[in-house]
Amino acid sequence: MLEKKTIFPMSRIHCPMLVEAWLEDGEIKDAYISDTLYRGFEQILIGRSAMDMPYYTQRICGICSSAHAITAALAVEQALGMQVPPNGLLIRNLILASDFIQNHFRHLYLYTFPDYFRGPDIAPFIPHSESDQRLSSKENTTMTEHYFKSFEIARTAHAAFAIFGGKAPHGHGIVPGGASMEVDADKVNRYRGYLMEILGFIDDVLLPDVTLIRERYPEYVDLGKGVGNYLSVGGFQLPGGSTLFPQGVILQGKREAFDEKHVTEDVTNAWYKPHGPLHPSEEDTVPDHNQPKGYTWVKSPRYRGQPVEVGPLARAVIQGEAVIGQGALARTWARSLELKKIAKATLLWLNRLEPGAETYNGKKGQDSGIGIGLHEAMRGALGHWISVKDGRVNHYQIITPSALNFGARDEKGTRSVGESSLLGLKVKSEDLKEAGRIIRSFDPCFSCSVHVIDGVNLYNLKIQV
């Protein structure tokens, strides 16, 4: 006899993610993951100036804002035939890198590590989950100190962001055609100073902390595996064409080049007007709460019809880097190492900036066209598909990393990577902490995923079983 248990809210970042697990004898046999929040960004964008897309789309989310800015800028630049000068590429990378850094620190210390240590008897640590605590009291105290210290270091990353972004989050620095800030020695030196401080924290605090957690919870390195499919659309382009993150796909162990033509979304089990799998350039977003099979606002993105995992672990796998496993702590470990990789890269990019050289080129080849922006966001692959007519948006579709990891099961009934990662998990705790550790390792963000809170569906999930 299956027993239903619900985890809500699932994420420590904000509320709309709901996980429904179906258990038998303490083992998860099935899972449904639902986003209870609909936002409708794709409709908001229609009819607006294409040049404003980096600003509008950043409002999808405050923790990955600059990822949307750069992806929108790439889409608009392709549609309107714009070229970015070398300084512009580097400044955009520096803005996005500092945003990645604040995101990864927040994810690790505020949203993930509390799954593995016991904080003091104060908010936000209470009520405590007492099950499966493996750190000593002294180690718990140290982790708590680092938890609070991470606020400061994430703020330092935002300060670096604001040097070239004007403010953080939702900066003003990334625009179609380049970057709006000029380069001078003072900005370069301040950014470098912040990054040196951040690198010190990574080496002295973060890496020892994540090593400790990995040692105490070794089985989580492989608990919560995905489906063996990984995707990265690449990112952090440098003058000359190379990128820090490569692009590629691995499907069932086989590597292949990425081609966006193979990206589709269907809405069979989501709350939208029904349609089969469609390429984002052909797809619409028409909410329909009455769809009988619907159980989430997140559509079902697929690559060649298959679910794919995205994020730091996927990027490491695609890059051919050594990974420690494929489960929850393998994701957390990959995110920690990626943090260092990005922070170190910024120091090289700073050296390549040319003070005084142009950062922006507003010349356009045309006023109408089609563009595709693809860039890795903090949580994985992000795509913006735009069609522009006379400078205005007439079609826009967005596929976010959390939609890729956590969309609805598709027309064939295939589960997302996130739903699959819970299958077979043995649960001993009352609060399903084991499942929480796995789902939170993806760093889920459901405001991004459906880009008006619906009070009815928050608590009245219509799931078909």
Which residues sit in the known binding site for Mg(2+)? 42, 398, 451
Listed in sequence order, the DSSP H helices in 46-184 are 53-58, 65-80, 86-105, 137-165
Triad 102, 104, 107: Cα angle to 5°: 105
Counting contacts by CB under 6 A, is residue 359 touching ligand NFE? no
Token pair, residue 288, equals 């329909």
- Asked if 312 contacts 298 with a C-beta cutoff of 8 angstroms, the reply is no
The residues near 365 (Cβ < 8 Å, ≥ 6 apart) are 80, 81, 82
How many residues of this chain bind ligand NFE (CB under 6 A)? 15
Stretches 3-11, 46-54, 62-70, 158-166: which one binds ligand NFE (CB under 6 A)?
62-70
Strands 27-35 and 174-175: unpaired
Counting contacts by CB under 6 A, is residue 173 touching ligand NFE? no
Pattern 427-446, binding to ligand NFE, x per CB under 6 A? ------------------x-
Counting contacts by CB under 6 A, is residue 247 touching ligand NFE? no
What number of other Cβ atoms are within 10 A of residue 67's Cβ? 29
Question: Measured between alpha carbons, how far is 162 from 99 in angstroms, rounded to an integer?
Answer: 10
**Strand order of the sheet with strand 254-256?**
230-237, 243-251, 254-256
Counting contacts by CB under 6 A, is residue 377 touching ligand NFE? yes
Counting contacts by CB under 6 A, is residue 447 touching ligand NFE? yes
Q: Which helix (H) or strand (E) holds 197?
A: helix 185-201
Counting contacts by CB under 6 A, is residue 401 touching ligand NFE? yes
Smallest gap from Cβ 339 to ligand NFE, in A, equals: 14
Between 172 and 379, whose beta carbon lies closer to ligand NFE?
379
Stretches 19-27, 146-154, 183-191, 397-405: which one binds ligand NFE (CB under 6 A)?
397-405
Counting contacts by CB under 6 A, is residue 400 touching ligand NFE? yes
Binding residues for Ni(2+): 61, 64, 445
Cα separations in angstroms, 111 against 10, 125, 442: 10, 11, 11
Stretches 57-65, 166-174, 295-303, 416-424: which one binds ligand NFE (CB under 6 A)?
57-65
DSSP code for 110: I
Counting contacts by CB under 6 A, is residue 96 touching ligand NFE? no
Among 379, 384, 415, 433, binds ligand NFE (CB under 6 A): 379
**Which residues of this protein are in contact with ligand NFE, per CB under 6 A?**
61, 63-64, 67-68, 377-379, 382, 400-402, 445, 447-448
